[in-house]
Amino acid sequence: MPSLPTPPSTEPPTPLLPPPQDADEGRYLALRTRDARFDGRFFTGVTSTGIYCRPVCSVRTPKRENCRFFDLAAQAERAGFRPCLRCRPEVSPTSLVWSTQDASHLLVHHALRLLDAPDALQSDPHSAQALAERLGVSDRHLRRLFEAQLGLSPLQYLQTRRLLTAKQLLTDTPLPVTQVALASGFGSVRRFNAAFAQHYGLNPTALRRSGARMGERAGEGATATLRLAYRPPLDAPALLAFFAKRQFHGVEWAQPEGGAHSLRRTVRLRPSVGAQPITGWIQAQFDAARHQVLLQTSDSLYPVLPAVLRRVRALLDLDADPTPINAVLHADFPHGDGLRVPGAWDGLELAVRAVLGQQITVAAARTLGQRLVERFGEPIATPWPQLNRLFPTADVLARAEGDALGQLGIVRQRQAAIVALARAVDAGQITLDSTADVPATTRALCALPGIGDWTAQYIAMRVLRWPDAFVAGDVALHKALGVQGQKQPARAATEASAAWQPWRSYAVVRAWASLEASAEPAAPTPPIANPLSNP
């Protein structure tokens, strides 16, 4: 691991930690200070206890000579350490490296990203070859890279993900052990029990009892609230305000103000291809003091909780690492260190929102989307009157007739774009989630009628979770960067963005925020045009 970087600040940069003699000394200092900014970036195995912890663990700091440091939880488990029941490594944010490494590092990290996907938990335990084929390399080459860079195999990493997912479900939910085993990707309870006995030295039922006792000592109790950690800073009010400004009544409800910073919405998930969709609701509430999100879901979503957890992490951008992002962007956007890139629960929903917003204001796009939800959405019962509908499915929109869409005020060009987009998603021709290939997906999107580069880049930013997407044709961005008066503002914006790579998605969000912050405080903030300048 490289030396621990300097944290972002509105003041002149100061070292985050005294220059360590080596990387492990810096990690130990982060462990002693329980610095949440390093959560998920390393794990500490304590030789005197046989347990590994997150840097934020509240137990007494172990002696330096008893500490071993690992980049991944899977590495700690391969070395024989068991996860801590107090700090719970399964709730920590992941640590992703994008385009700042060489090709081998990028290949391994892309493989880890695919293995982190909920679908991977249910894959054949001998499907490493399928993963290698998807990455365009041989199975042998992929295993060799994993062993050289991580010291473990792809299947060992996947096994750890399954075990930690099961551990979280056992600790946070009342799901029966059998359902936990299946949801976590184990083919049978016997294999599930054997894996727990081998890795953790106890059976799942005993772990559930131990976790409950630990929660009681911590004053938390055993509840059905799932915890998702993140690295600070995170500006929860700004993130929720972004959602609130664009929300459709009945589908989502964001509360950016007051003491309870929370987001509620209706959701639909399809467990597998051809399976019946599962519907329900979620509520995510920020606990800023502990740097975590408290997630509650309807009982109907319990069988697909691993997928729910993954989508909520992407929706709220909880896996972002602010340190390298702020190191690149702080000089130009000093007031945006806590901003995140808002994600999307469903890729098609976000893509349709983008199409509806072409060349009109956010408020006007929300009005069109509201009509679409009321005309084609499915009713659903929730505990809150604000939530009562689901966003339309791909197959419903694929069959939508032009007259029906036209009656909603949607112009002909956008009618064609919505129907073509829905048909492509429904047929499996385009995948809109964080595991999709970014260049191939953006090309496929631009090949559809009525969809241009702005739409594709916006989808890449919010759905594909690509941190270097850049909406060069965005009118609001041009205004924020002061290039709106130039002859070719898109080119000028692109040239300015070179200094922000590989974090241009975050630069766009900060630029938008700076534009809103500069508005006259005495008057209501005018809606920012959604500048979808498609040809």
Q: What is the dihedral of CA 33, 310, 3, 17, to 10 degrees?
A: -20
CA distances (Å), 530 to each of 42, 96, 341, 355, 519, in order? Answer: 40, 30, 16, 10, 17
Task: Copy the structure tokens of residue 202.
Answer: 């106890």
| Partners of residue 43 on adjacent β-strands | 70
- Catalytic residue flag (residue 474): yes
- 139-149 and 154-172 helices cross at what angle (nearest 10)? 70
Give the count of beta carbons closer than 10 Å to the beta carbon of residue 74.
26
Q: What count of Cα atoms within 13 Å lies in the side-chain half-sphere of residue 278?
A: 19
The CA-based angle 301-305-309, given to 5 degrees, is 120
Q: Which member of 35, 39, 53, 337 is catalytic?
A: 53
Distance of alpha carbon 440 from alpha carbon 447, whole angstroms: 11
Cβ(315)–Cβ(343) under 8 Å?
yes
Which of 35, 321, 453, 474 is the catalytic position?
474
Of all helices (H) and strands (E), which one includes residue 470? none
Q: Is 53 a catalytic residue?
A: yes
Strand segments (E) across 378-456: 378-379, 389-390
- Contact partners, residue 445, CB within 8 Å, separation at least 6: 351, 421, 430, 451, 455, 456, 459
Using alpha carbons only, give the angle 503, 306, 82 rounded to the nearest 5 degrees. Answer: 90
Query: What is residue 295's three-state secondary structure?
Result: strand
- Distance, in Å, from the CA atom of 41 to the CA atom of 30, rounded to the nearest integer, reads 11
> What are the tokens at 180?
């936990």
Provide the strand spans (E) within 351-427.
Answer: 358-361, 378-379, 389-390
Cα separation, 57 vs 60, whole angstroms: 8
Return the active site residues.
53, 474
